[in-house]
Homo-oligomer: A and B are copies of this chain.
Amino acid sequence: MTARTELRSWVESANGHSEFSLANLPLGIFSRDGGQPRGGVAVGDCIFDLSVACEAGLFEGQAAEAAKAASASSLNAFFDLGAPARQALRQALQNLLAENGERREQLQRMGESLLQPMDRCRMHLPARVGDYTDFYVGIHHANNVGKLFRPDNPLLPNYKYVPIGYHGRASTVDVSGATVRRPNGQTLPAGASEPSFGPSKRLDYELELGIWIGQGNARGESIPIGEAGGHVAGFCLLNDWSARDLQAWEYQPLGPFLSKSFATSVSPWVVMPEALEPFRCAQPARPEGDPQPLPYLYDEKDQQQGALDIELEVLLLTQAMRDKGLPAQRITLSSTRNMYWTVAQMVAHHSVNGCSLQPGDLFGSGTLSGERDDSCGSLLEITQGGKRALELPGGETRTFLEDGDEIILKARCRREGYPPIGFGECRGRILPAAS
């Protein structure tokens, strides 16, 4: 695969350690100065404006078709084009932006009209979310949460057979930077026999990988695991904000509802599967001796290369830290290596009953905690259900999130001999509950 030296760009900020090098080229929807949202590509500290590029005739053939679809106000139509069109666009972008690209001078003359400064742009949700499904494939999270309720038997009997998931709320998926209002709701205070109503007191984040679905399947048909990867349009970071006290009271017998549906945040850039190819690996989270996946979830290539090696981190910035000029504090360092099921297994499972997936559907992986204390993907785990406070710079502590707290998710792929791939950020700040 493409080594770093082959991928230098005439866009200087895309070289070196940029998370948006030519090896990455994620797509997103941006606007500037209140203009129309439209598709663009992250290149160093700029956004390559696909509308402008299309109008200038920079693309040909399948790449032109893909660029036109991706230049719209959402990426749904682009997602629907599938992998060959996406790959053609990626190749064309690498050619245009390469240090020795043939059209370099023409492009450089176009200046800021083609390459918008990222810090002057506003990012939008990359696609209209049809359905949003949240999985539960982080095995250490399932273990950690299970232990809080069932210390001797934390994993339920179905866990190692079924990629557990549930339907989430699509209307409240929003892009990084959107604030999150603390939800009101019913809770059962400790020792009480009747519920109370008010703002959640146990507001939490969940560190997840987001998966954007590309081409769908017809209702009544399933997607075989060997073809499942071809239905994935790209990846992002996802924060599944969770009100633990609402969840504990409401979730029996039908699962989480209002404890999750108030907000889900995603990072704005859709990282293409092709950018992640060098960071594929065998499933590290399935120990020897665990049951073999059922045939519809088993594919030899997926077993060998279906997992992902992406470093994930969570940072917290409180209002007091902000006031004192302190930087955000890293509170979690984890990895997608903690996924017990691969993305292909999630796609195959979701559709095996004939459920139709559609371009722009969004999956969350479930919370991706590691095995160590500093790799927990939620405050519920870090604080062991609120019993052990997390210490922060400036003398503050946290058990759950307070108003003004901001959670920042980041992700990066690193491998010797390959340029790094970054995901950008998924940020969200907590606002006080509505009165």
Is A186 located at the chain interface by the 8 A CB criterion? yes
Is A170 located at the chain interface by the 8 A CB criterion? yes
Contact of A171 with B258 at beta-carbon distance under 8 Å, contacts A353-B184, A354-B181 already known: no
Given A166-B256, A186-B294; 4 other pairs, CB 8 A cutoff: A171-B355, A220-B434, A221-B434, A222-B434
CB nearest neighbor in B for A366: B254
Contact call A165/B257, Cβ cutoff below 8 A = yes
A360: min CB distance to chain B, Å: 10
Q: Which residues of B have CB within 8 Å of A269?
A: none
Is A130 located at the chain interface by the 8 A CB criterion? yes
Contact of A354 with B434 at beta-carbon distance under 8 Å, contacts A254-B136, A255-B254, A258-B349 already known: yes
Question: Which of A157, A197, A220, A353 has the most chain B CB atoms inside 10 A of its CB?
Answer: A353
List 13 contacting pairs A-B, 8 Å CB cutoff, sorted by A: A136-B254, A158-B195, A162-B195, A162-B249, A164-B250, A166-B254, A167-B167, A197-B295, A220-B262, A246-B353, A253-B255, A255-B255, A262-B353
Quick one: copies of this chain in the complex?
2
CB nearest neighbor in B for A157: B188
Contact call A255/B166, Cβ cutoff below 8 A = yes
Contact call A354/B183, Cβ cutoff below 8 A = yes
Is A357 located at the chain interface by the 8 A CB criterion? yes
User: Measured between alpha carbons, how far is A347 from B38 in the docked complex, in Å?
Assistant: 34
Is A172 located at the chain interface by the 8 A CB criterion? yes
A59: min CB distance to chain B, Å: 31
A208: min CB distance to chain B, Å: 14
Contact call A171/B262, Cβ cutoff below 8 A = no
Is A361 located at the chain interface by the 8 A CB criterion? yes
User: Measured between alpha carbons, how far is A192 from B356 in the docked complex, in Å?
Assistant: 30
Contact call A184/B352, Cβ cutoff below 8 A = yes
CB nearest neighbor in B for A216: B171
Is A99 located at the chain interface by the 8 A CB criterion? no
**B130, B164, B174: the one within 8 Å of A171 (CB):** B130
Q: Which residues of B have CB within 8 Å of A169?
A: 131, 167, 355
Contact call B220/A181, Cβ cutoff below 8 A = yes
Q: Which residues of B have CB within 8 Å of A243?
A: 353
Contact call B355/A172, Cβ cutoff below 8 A = yes
Is A194 located at the chain interface by the 8 A CB criterion? yes
Q: Which residues of B have CB within 8 Å of A156?
A: 252-253
The 8 A CB mask of A169-211 against B (1 = contact, 0 = none) is 1111010000001011110100000110100000000000000
Contact call B172/A261, Cβ cutoff below 8 A = no
Contact call A158/B250, Cβ cutoff below 8 A = yes
Q: How large is the interface on A (under 10, 10 to 19, 20 to 34, 35 or more residues)?
A: 35 or more
Q: Which residues of B have CB within 8 Å of A93?
A: none
Q: Which residues of B have CB within 8 Å of A164?
A: 250, 253-254, 257
Q: Which of A135-177 contact B (CB under 8 A)?
A: 136, 156-158, 161-162, 164-172, 174
Q: Which residues of B have CB within 8 Å of A130?
A: 170-171
A262: min CB distance to chain B, Å: 4
Is A66 located at the chain interface by the 8 A CB criterion? no
A188: min CB distance to chain B, Å: 8
CB nearest neighbor in B for A248: B158
Contact call A257/B291, Cβ cutoff below 8 A = no
User: Measured between alpha carbons, how far is A161 from B355 in the docked complex, in Å?
Assistant: 33
A18: min CB distance to chain B, Å: 33
Is A15 located at the chain interface by the 8 A CB criterion? no
User: Measured between alpha carbons, how far is A93 from B306 in the docked complex, in Å?
Assistant: 59
Q: Which residues of B have CB within 8 Å of A134?
A: 254
Q: Which of A116-135 contact B (CB under 8 A)?
A: 130-131, 134
User: Measured between alpha carbons, how far is A431 from B219 in the docked complex, in Å?
Assistant: 13
Is A358 located at the chain interface by the 8 A CB criterion? yes
A405: min CB distance to chain B, Å: 17
- The 8 A-B pairs of least Cβ separation, nearest first, read A255-B255, A183-B353, A167-B167, A166-B254, A181-B220, A261-B355, A258-B353, A262-B353
